[in-house]
Structure 1
Amino acid sequence: MAAGCVQLSRPLCSQILASVDTLLFDCDGVLWRGESPIPGAVQLINRLQEQGKRVFFLTNNSTKSRQMYGEKLRALGFQARPEQVFGTAPCSALYLRQEARLRGSVYLIGGATLRGELQTQGIACSGSGPGPELTPGPGPTQVWAAEPLDPAVGAVLVGFDEHFTYMKLCRATRYLQNPACIFLATNTDTLLPLEGGGVPGTGCLVKAIEAASNRTAHVIGKPSTFMLECMVKEHGINPSRTVMVGDRLDTDILMGSNCGLRTILTLTGVSTLEEARAHQESNSPDRHKLVPSFYVESVADLLPALD
């Protein structure tokens, strides 16, 4: 059985908080649900910062900018600045510019925020939005297969796209037939949890393009390590004195494991304690990476340790 998955008592919580300088929080399901903050979350975040802890907010949502998240946090009562937010939209643009050293433009499956982040980094892109109407021809498959491609495109980036179509799938696949074309995904979350149910997430679009192109996307968001690498560069945080707090085992907790961080699962969101225990009891080392170091019923359980 893998170690970890220990419920945080007040004394143990005090020890953990004393041993860290920085706390990384997922947002939806951890700090809020929909438009309502989790009870005690606002007080926790504000008190942590009043006591000198550094707090950052991590999201796989590519449809909102740092500024938009900063505004939502402040509207809910959290003390937060846009530079404390790390999301897949700005990090994808940074990766293409700084890590991949992209030459050329991007074929983008994604929305206006993702397009704006690319443009902020001076990266030209096409494909975002509903797309042009098809012109009359011998048939849709022949039209899509014969459509001219832009020779300037050097990367395909996939984020959440409410206008995703078969035509976009065809176009992305054709660009990716060139092995030199970079294939990037903001995240691979397959479900967006919403009140009353969920809807397919970005991961469903990524899987479709991976299957069609017989290629695997490089993922920017959780559970990848890239967002933490961005924080280390921008803010100089020390991973050994950092803890990750999240509600999803396959993104938040796995990212923490991949980065060598201690992790705390909160049970107010997607994943359950039963799922964590099942991973813990497994004989698979890969599943052990999904086991949190600690768990709490809610982030509010951390508050008494700050008194």
Structure 2
Amino acid sequence: MAVSKCRRLSGGALRELLDSVESVLFDCDGVIWRGDQAIPGAADVVNRLKKHGKRVFFLTNNSTKTRGMYADKLRRLGFDAAEDDVFGTAFCSAAFLKSEAKLEGKVYLIGSAAMQQELRSVGIEQVGVGPDPVSGAQADWAGVPLDPEVRAVLVGFDEHFSYMKLNKALQYLRNPDCLFVGTNTDTRLPLEDGKAIPGTGCLLKAVETAAQRQAVVVGKPSKFMFECVAGRYGLDPAKTLMVGDRLDTDILLGSNCGLKTLLTLTGVSTVADAEAHQRSGCDVRLGMVPDYFVESVAELLPALQG
């Protein structure tokens, strides 16, 4: 199946692909929903996959919701989904700090209330959530009070990101023993009608620049995102399909982890983008070329009916 990449998937090839996998990983926004609306046919596809005995999981770089919040949204939109099926970066960051980094201490969190909740669920205390305006004179900022129990800085999406938060992160990260973790590097969040807003990657890059350090990133395309699922459910990479709308996150994750990859054109990336990567000859860009593409996940329905 990897002989000819970026093939339009249809007909018997659809059934052949689905027969070859045991597990299917779906990105969320742009793949199975847009905003608060399900992609037409997406819930039917997911529910039929489960009825056919496939294991289905949902992977998202969005750190603004807990697993429970995502599961509620999935069910509200008609998907057969449980909290354990969801792997967002809020949850995966907490899992990384607890299980992989074995953190002993607090986290300085540039992030959301959902991230705060996921950290608490694994027994990790945090400081930093909410607004933090500048106070005092410029000469005071380098000496801003710090919590001596903080052993890691975690950066996710934070609508209250500010100069003071950037400054505090720098002060904590001056300690080389302080861990530095980011949820994801997506620089833009696409909205309807071609609009976009800055993504977490912009905030993370600001902290990296100030601290002159690079963060460990847990979200797609980092292998940890897949390992977080595979370690819990024993997934076989050769029998796992990654379905996504972004070449630089979803498809690259699949390539990095040896998964089959399927691009859906209801989100960010285009076939022209994939073909440009394929022509480049660059190893990194070749990792962003999907095995297959479809206009929408709804095109999988014929292979699941009957």
User: Into which bin does the TM-score normalised by the smaller protein fall?
Assistant: over 0.9
Alpha carbons 1:57, 1:86 under 8 Å: kept: yes
Alpha carbons 2:25, 2:59 under 8 Å: kept: yes
Provide the residue aligned with 1:94 in structure 2.
95
Looking at structure 1, the residues matched to 121 and 134 of structure 2 have their Cα atoms a distance apart, in angstroms, of 28
Which segment is superposed worse, 225-234 or 63-72?
225-234
Q: What amino acid does structure 1 have at the position aligned with 2:146?
A: L
Unaligned runs of 5+ in 2: none
Looking at structure 2, the residues matched to 43 and 66 of structure 1 have their Cα atoms a distance apart, in angstroms, of 21
Aligned with residue 240 of structure 2, among 239, 242, 245: 242
Q: Displaced runs of 4+ in structure 1, greater than 6 A?
A: none
Alpha carbons 1:158, 1:186 under 8 Å: kept: yes
Alpha carbons 1:157, 1:185 under 8 Å: kept: yes
Where 2:108 maps in the other structure, the secondary structure is strand
Q: What amino acid does structure 2 have at the position aligned with 1:157?
A: L
Where 2:107 maps in the other structure, the secondary structure is strand
Looking at structure 2, the residues matched to 171 and 22 of structure 1 have their Cα atoms a distance apart, in angstroms, of 42
Aligned with residue 161 of structure 2, among 159, 164, 171: 164
Q: How many angstroms does 1:132 deviate by?
A: 5.9
Which segment is superposed worse, 141-150 or 279-288?
141-150
Deviation track 1:228-259 (CA, whole Å, cap 9, x = no partner) reads 11112211111111000000001000100111
Looking at structure 2, the residues matched to 213 and 22 of structure 1 have their Cα atoms a distance apart, in angstroms, of 40
Alpha carbons 2:134, 2:164 under 8 Å: kept: no
Where 1:146 maps in the other structure, the secondary structure is coil
Aligned with residue 180 of structure 2, among 161, 183, 200: 183
Number of equivalenced pairs: 302
User: 1:1-307 residue pairs with structure 2 within 5 A?
Assistant: 3-131=4-132, 134=135, 137=136, 139=137, 141-196=138-193, 197-307=195-305
How well do the aligned residues superpose, as a CA RMSD in angstroms?
A: 1.2
Deviation track 1:167-223 (CA, whole Å, cap 9, x = no partner) reads 100110111111111000011111111124111010000000111111111001100
Normalised by the length of structure 2, the TM-score is 0.96
Q: How many angstroms does 1:148 deviate by?
A: 2.2
Normalised by the length of structure 1, the TM-score is 0.96
Alpha carbons 1:3, 1:280 under 8 Å: kept: no
Looking at structure 2, the residues matched to 54 and 222 of structure 1 have their Cα atoms a distance apart, in angstroms, of 20
Q: How many angstroms does 1:151 deviate by?
A: 1.8
Unaligned runs of 5+ in 1: none
Alpha carbons 1:10, 1:302 under 8 Å: kept: no
Looking at structure 2, the residues matched to 132 and 100 of structure 1 have their Cα atoms a distance apart, in angstroms, of 31
Where 2:142 maps in the other structure, the secondary structure is helix
Alpha carbons 2:277, 2:289 under 8 Å: kept: yes
Q: How many angstroms does 1:143 deviate by?
A: 2.1
Looking at structure 1, the residues matched to 284 and 4 of structure 2 have their Cα atoms a distance apart, in angstroms, of 14
Q: What amino acid does structure 1 have at the position aligned with 2:15?
A: S
Q: What amino acid does structure 2 have at the position aligned with 1:252?
A: D
Q: What amino acid does structure 1 have at the position aligned with 2:144?
A: E
